[in-house]
Structure formats: structure tokens, C-alpha cells
Amino acid sequence: MGTTASETTDGRRFTGWLWVALVLVWMPLLWRLARLWRSETEQLFGFGVPVLVGWLLWQRRGEWLAVPVAVRARGALGLATAGGVLMSAALLVMEANPLWPRAAWAGMAGVLALTLGLIAHGRGWGAMRAVAPVWLLMLTALKWPTFIYEPVMRGMMQMNAVIAAELTSLAGTPALVHGSVIEVARGMVGVDEACSGLRSLQTVIMMAFFLGELDRMRAGRRLGLLAGAVLAALLVNIARTTVLTWVFANHGPAVEEQWHDPAGMVALVVTLVLVWWWSERVSPGEPLRAETPGEVRGLRVPLTAWRVPVAAVLCVALAEAGTQAWYRAHEQETQERVSWELAQAADWRAVDVPRRSAEMLRYESAESFGREVTEPTRQMLAFAFRWESDLARSGLPELHDPLVCLPSIGAVKEAELPEARVVIEGVEVPFRFIRFRQGGVLQHVWFCLWSTRAGGADEGRWKQGDVIKQRWERVWTGMRNDEREQLIFFVQGERDDAGAERTLRDAVLTLLRRR
């Protein structure tokens, strides 16, 4: 039986609307990923990944979208449906946890499955396989899961510190390593996350995957390109750390501070140039071309083919509407929001948070004080950092407590002591109590992560693994807007735990006040 004109439509028109459907399908996820890319410096390159993917898809549009096929791909609809369900669940979780890597990976997996299912349904499995590597480039825009990110970051920081110290010593400036801190005659040089090379590493991995797909290299050449890109990132960042350490040792911290950011930009540019140069070396003379049929003009597409793209757009719209409805239904102001600040007190003076630390913490406001002491090894510090809105729920407050920051500058955790509880103006504040040791000197810390909306401490963060439970609780309770505070009290040089506890309790009672 023939197909009448009222039952068919032109393939070109269908192709154009399929492009529109794909853009609409991706918009909710990209909107949420933009929060992640803005919040962490090493993820800024993520904004460029959708642009590169879109450019590649447009360049190859004649190979996969221009020629719909008459035979439907079996199983494509199931793939698209599973992707839509996974994406809908991930959007709900990401709304309250925009920096949770697992949620971002789940969301990306769902949108990719939905996208590839749409292409397979309208064009066939052959076209889907041809275009899948381009779409999979989107995975390089995601932050690595924590179980990968943290070990790699710490390993690179320590490796940079060890090699840079050796090279600096060979250059005639003695240097010692304490964890990820380099000690020279003028003081201590910390190798922070930005100096670890992780920013360059994630960027060059993305660049290597893009260049491999651009030239359509075979698998072996792509692996060679990736290995060379990683090596370039490591070597350039070791050189950068060495130069900054030498500058610090010979010209002082002020000059090193001036060199720090320009050296980072130069290192990134040099690394990308090296990756491009290496891609030219490993690239074949002629790219491996996909075997795709030429364009067939005048091809007709059954009207039923429109149902799946339209259904996909409706699915995404319903997922977004459902997400917003869930959180708005739970957004009720608590009767009393409890917030804290540090007040000026006798013998305490305001201290400045180092610029690079402030840039990493990205807090909205803060108070910081230090106490004058006579003994050189004794030091007392107090901090109250405050995050609001997106940053409060992004994961930044959890990532920057003393258990993360002190080991990064060479302190070693010795023991977790019984928690301490202090009543301030009728409100009980629980503090986690940790003992560290650095260079033979004892350090004791009280700290508390406080939620002003909940009116209490996020004690779930205190136990191993409970951070995941806490993230799920944000979803169940619809808590996407919050203000969170990190309260930290530090003393160095106390001889025992009991003396440190008395000193810290006195500091809390002296400085901490309700806002």
C-alpha cells in the first residue's frame, strides 16, 4: 500500500526538527553542569566541550542526520526510554547537589542514552555507531568521581613537591619536602590543587580525545596521543612548580605571588601547544573516514517518526517541571534560622586569609582572627566561613574542612578525640576534635559544619560514608537553598589534649556569637 502525501513529510524537514529536539533534550543538564563548571577553576574548560561537540556534529551532519532510513532500529526506543528515566532521576538529585560527581555522571549517561536512542530510531544503528564517539566527548566535561579525583590530586601534589624540591636543590637552593609542602630557607611553599597539575591534566585529556576524534584516529593512535598529553601536563607542571619554588626561595613570597597566576597561564598554553604538536606527529596522513551512504534527496519520512523526538522533548519538559515542583513544595522558611559569626575580642586580632586560599574556598563572607602569643611555636587561629545559595549546596563547604586542608600542607592526623559540645546563647554547637602533628609540633582543631536552615550541625558529615546519605536527604527534604558555615578553631603548641581542649573551649566562648 502506498503512502499518501498527508502521511509523509520531507526528510530534510525532519532532520532540522531533530536537531531542535536534541538541543532541547540537552538544555536542562547543561544548565546544571554550568554551575559545576563555574564553581571550580579546573572545570572551566567544560564550557568549551559542548561547543566542540556541536562543531564536530555540524561538520558531519551529512553523514548521520541527513538520510533517515525506512527500517527502524530494534531496541532503539528502549534505549531512549531508559535514558529518559535515568536523566529525570538525575535532574532531581542534581538540583540539590550540583557538584556531586555521581549525579552528574548519571545525568550525562541518561542524556547520552536518550540522544543515541533518538538517532538510532530515526537513522539506524549504523549512524548511531558512527556518531557515538563525538557525543561521548561530552564525558570529558565532567568532574572525575571522588574515588579517582582525590587520590590523583594528592599523588600529583606530592609528586610535584618531591621532584620540584630535588630540582631546586640541584639548582643550588636547598629544599626539603613535607607531604605536599616544600621547605626552603625563606619558609614553606605549598603545592595546592591548582599547582598539582590537575587543572591542566583534565583539560589536556579533553583536548586529546577531541583531536583524536577530529582526525578519526584508530584506537592505538588515540591511546598514544592520550599518553603523550598526560606526560606533557605532568612535565610542564613540574617545571612550573620548580620555577615558583626557586623564585620563592631566592626573591621572597611577594615575588612568587606575582609570578603564580601568570606562570599557571603560561603552563596551560605550553601544555596545549605540546598536545597539538604531538597530535600532528601521531596523526595519520589521511583520517579514517566513516563508511556512510551519500545523501538521498527527496526521501520521505513517515509521520510516525516524529513521535519519538516529540516524546523525548515532552519527557525532558516533564522531568524539569517535576523537579521544580518538588523543591518549591518543600521550600518553607524555618521558624528560626541560626547563624554564627566571630566577634572581636581582647588579645585577638583580625588576620587575612591568603588570596589563593580565598579563591579556592569561594565563600561569600568570613571572619578570621589570630591571638598574640609569646612562644614562637604557639599559634591560635579562628575562622568562620559562610556560603549561600548554590555554593552552600554545591559541596564546597564539605570539601574544605581541616581534614582536607591541613594534610595538604604537611600535617599528619594522629587521632580523632571525643567530640566537644559548647552552648552559645542557648544553642548547642558540636565540634569535631582532631589532633594533628606537623614537624614535631602538636596541632589541635575544633571544627563544625553548620546549616542555618536546619538550625544545627551537619553531623552526618562526621562519619565515614554518611556524606552520601546527607546528599540524599537534601533531595528527600527538598533542601536546595541553604546557608552553611564552617566554624574552625585551631591551636598549635599545646602539650596535651586536655590543655588544648581548655584553650579551644575558651576561644569558642570568647569569639563565637549568633548573628
What is the pTM for the complete model shown?
0.74
Position 13 pLDDT exceeds 70? no
Cell 538517532 identifies what position?
119
Co-location of 420 and 503 in the same domain: yes
Co-location of 358 and 471 in the same domain: yes
Co-location of 256 and 324 in the same domain: no
State mean pLDDT over 268-275: 90
Q: Which tops the pLDDT comparison, 7 or 88? A: 88
Q: Report the distance separating Cα 103 and Cα 95, nearest Å.
A: 10
**The three three-digit cell numbers of residue 143, written as one number:** 568532574
Report yes or no on 335 lying in a domain: no
Q: Report the distance separating Cα 208 and Cα 217, nearest Å.
A: 11
Tell me the C-alpha to C-alpha distance, in Å, between residue 467 and each of 40, 146, 384: 20, 12, 21
3-state SS, one letter per residue, for 211-256:
HHHHCCCCHHHHHHHHHHHHHHHHHHHHHHHHHHHHHHHHHCHHHH
Q: Which tops the pLDDT comparison, 234 or 154? A: 234
Q: Report the distance separating Cα 314 and Cα 305, nearest Å.
A: 15
Q: Which tops the pLDDT comparison, 265 or 7? A: 265
Contact status, residue 406 vs residue 444, Cβ threshold 8 Å: no
Average the pLDDT over each of 203-212, 242-251, 412-421, 447-456 and give the range with the smallest value: 447-456
Co-location of 270 and 155 in the same domain: yes
Residue 342 confidence (pLDDT): 94
Residue 14 confidence (pLDDT): 65
Domain count, the chain: 3
Residue 212 confidence (pLDDT): 92
Q: Report the distance separating Cα 49 and Cα 209, nearest Å.
A: 11
Residue 460 confidence (pLDDT): 47
Report yes or no on 499 lying in a domain: yes
Q: Report the distance separating Cα 166 and Cα 184, nearest Å.
A: 12
How many residues does the structure list for the chain? Answer: 515
Report yes or no on 290 lying in a domain: no
Question: pLDDT confidence of 276, banded at 50, 70, 90?
Answer: very high
Closest CA to 85 of 307, 311, 304: 311
Average the pLDDT over each of 19-33, 282-296, 381-395, 398-412 and give the range with the smallest value: 282-296
Provide Rg for the chain, Cα atoms: 27
Q: Report the distance separating Cα 232 and Cα 208, nearest Å.
A: 11
CATH number, domain containing residue 479 = 3.40.1000
Co-location of 257 and 309 in the same domain: no
Co-location of 303 and 383 in the same domain: no
Report yes or no on 294 lying in a domain: no
Report yes or no on 291 lying in a domain: no
pLDDT in tens, 203-229: 899 999 999 999 889 889 999 999 999
The SS3 call for residue 274 is helix
Co-location of 132 and 196 in the same domain: no
Contact status, residue 484 vs residue 394, Cβ threshold 8 Å: no
Percent of the chain at pLDDT > 70 equals: 81
Co-location of 267 and 317 in the same domain: no
Residue 278 confidence (pLDDT): 93
State mean pLDDT over 175-185: 76
Position 387 pLDDT exceeds 80? yes
Co-location of 317 and 427 in the same domain: no
Co-location of 105 and 158 in the same domain: no
Report yes or no on 22 lying in a domain: yes
Residue 6 confidence (pLDDT): 38
Average the pLDDT over each of 153-162, 196-205, 248-257 and give the range with the smallest value: 196-205
* Residue 170: domain span: 146-282
Closest CA to 401 of 440, 456, 457: 457
Q: Which amino acid is at 426?
A: G
Co-location of 255 and 316 in the same domain: no
Co-location of 325 and 313 in the same domain: yes
List, in sequence order, every residue forming a beta bridge with 388; answer none if it has no partner. 483
Report yes or no on 182 lying in a domain: yes
Residue 300 confidence (pLDDT): 53
